[in-house]
Amino acid sequence: MSTLSRLVRWRRLIIGRLKILTPLLLAAMVLGLTGRSVELTLPMVLSSAADAFALTNRQLGLFAMAEVLGVTLASASSVWWLRHTRPAQLAMIGVLAFVVGNAITPFVSPDWLITVRFLTALLGEGALLIVATSLLGSAAQASRVYALYMAAQMVLGALLLGLQGELASRFSLLGVMASLVGLGLITLLALPGVSRASNRDPDQPTGAWHSGQPTRRATLLLVAMGLFHVGVGGAWAFLQQRGVQLGLDFGTGGWMMSFIMFSGLAGTGLAALGGSALGYRLPFWLGSIGLAVGSVLAGLVDNLLWFAAGGTLIMVGWNLVVPYQIAALGRRGPVAGQLALVPACQGAGLAAGPMLVGWLAGDGHFAAMAGVSAISAALALMAGIGGLRMILPDEEKGT
């Protein structure tokens, strides 16, 4: 097969995969990207905040916890919001809170910093993620749709991290927050795309907007998701600080984080192209191993090359396993309808991870980062496999 024929074949394959994205799903992706932007760039946000406010590792852990705890609480109350508001209304609240919260962050006193970040996450990022996750997770071919969404997250995160590294070297936290405010203003353009979606739209799957109590199998999958994100959050939040310890400055560190973030496309690419052909167990295993091994390399080996390799494994593992976690929860049957709880479980993990690492790690010591992430990955794998045994039909249990 000639090179031209291969290119044509790949072009057709990619176009075929992208056809599943409707205007509504594209708008939902934009909202979700903005909702995830702070978490994606958390290493640079924390590092610049440490520089601007002279924060310790424990204080940085509280900063990160407040950030993602807001998202968690928003998601926990999502059933009420989705029954009493339309998607466009909730999205508008989210965008406005996101812009205002990030705009005032550099100017608040240290005593109010944690409160401002918590409210920004609660009313801003949390609201945006409720809308995005509910729409994307209930779509047809959910594993591929969510994989494309996560691929877009990696691209956005890589671009923002590179930009924020340059801005932080010149303007510290003010430059980092300015990049997020600009992103929020651009997100206003996506609001018309979700205006047609309604919490009473008969064309929407019933699980998209109304969640009952989780079943036991859904609970196991949600617990697995939360545990996995404990490991991801614990590693990702302190990766930039670890890079600084190894000799990286703001500018170089930003581009290093950008490279690591961009490498996550390998995981989303595998999920998007593989889809259901990979089954569920294999991605769960590979993602958990990537997180465990990557965190050990990044946290314990004093070498920039191994640091980059470890960060890459974390990103690839994260971006491979999450689309399949979402797809498993979104399957028609007993666990459908639990999708609105996804940001809560992810947020709980992303809040607990940095808090645990920040509490256990002394300044300049990152063994706790490796330990917390590796143990969380193992526990997440156990819970995830347990949930899959209950949800998958007999012919899929061996995959």
| Residue at 12 is within a domain | no
Contact 127, 97 (CB under 8 A): yes
For the whole model, what pTM was predicted? 0.73
Q: Which domain CATH number covers 278?
A: 1.20.1250.20
348-369 average pLDDT score: 81
The pLDDT of residue 363 is 64
210-226 average pLDDT score: 74
pLDDT tens string 353-362: 888 888 887 6
The pLDDT of residue 1 is 54
| Residue at 9 is within a domain | no
Residue range(s) defining the domain that contains residue 96: 22-196+203-396
Question: Of 358 and 283, which is predicted with more confidence?
Answer: 283
The pLDDT of residue 154 is 85
- Mean pLDDT, the chain, rounded, equals 82
266-280 average pLDDT score: 79
Question: Of 199 and 343, which is predicted with more confidence?
Answer: 343
Contact 257, 240 (CB under 8 A): yes
The pLDDT of residue 238 is 86
The pLDDT of residue 76 is 76
Question: Of 256 and 6, which is predicted with more confidence?
Answer: 256
216-235 average pLDDT score: 90
CA angle 245, 249, 250 (to 5 degrees): 120
The pLDDT of residue 4 is 60
The pLDDT of residue 399 is 42
| Residue at 7 is within a domain | no
CA atoms within 13 A on the CB side of 232: 33
Whether the pLDDT of residue 256 is over 80: the answer is yes
The pLDDT of residue 376 is 96
| Residue at 3 is within a domain | no
Per cent of the chain over pLDDT 90 is: 36
In angstroms, rounded to a whole number, what is the distance separating the alpha carbons of residues 139 and 269? 18
| Residue at 5 is within a domain | no
- DSSP letters, 124-187, are IIHHHHHHHHHHHHTSTTHHHHHHHHHHHHHHHHHHHHHHHHHHHHHHTHHHHHHHHHHHHHHH
| Residue at 17 is within a domain | no
The pLDDT of residue 200 is 41
Whether the pLDDT of residue 31 is over 60: the answer is yes
Most confident of 43-52, 94-103, 260-269, 341-350: 94-103
| Residue at 333 is within a domain | yes
Q: How many domains does the chain have?
A: 1
In angstroms, rounded to a whole number, what is the distance separating the alpha carbons of residues 144 and 276? 9
Contact 239, 257 (CB under 8 A): yes
Lowest mean pLDDT among 175-184, 305-314, 322-331, 364-373: 322-331
Whether the pLDDT of residue 294 is over 90: the answer is yes
Contact 265, 151 (CB under 8 A): yes
In angstroms, rounded to a whole number, what is the distance separating the alpha carbons of residues 204 and 74? 22
Lowest mean pLDDT among 151-165, 175-189, 194-208, 273-287: 194-208
| Residue at 2 is within a domain | no
Number of continuous H segments (helices) and E segments (strands) in the chain? 20, 0
The pLDDT of residue 335 is 43
- Identity of the amino acid at 44: M
Whether the pLDDT of residue 56 is over 50: the answer is yes
The pLDDT of residue 241 is 81
Question: Of 36 and 355, which is predicted with more confidence?
Answer: 36
pLDDT tens string 91-121: 999 999 999 999 999 999 988 999 999 999 9
Lowest mean pLDDT among 152-161, 307-316, 326-335: 326-335
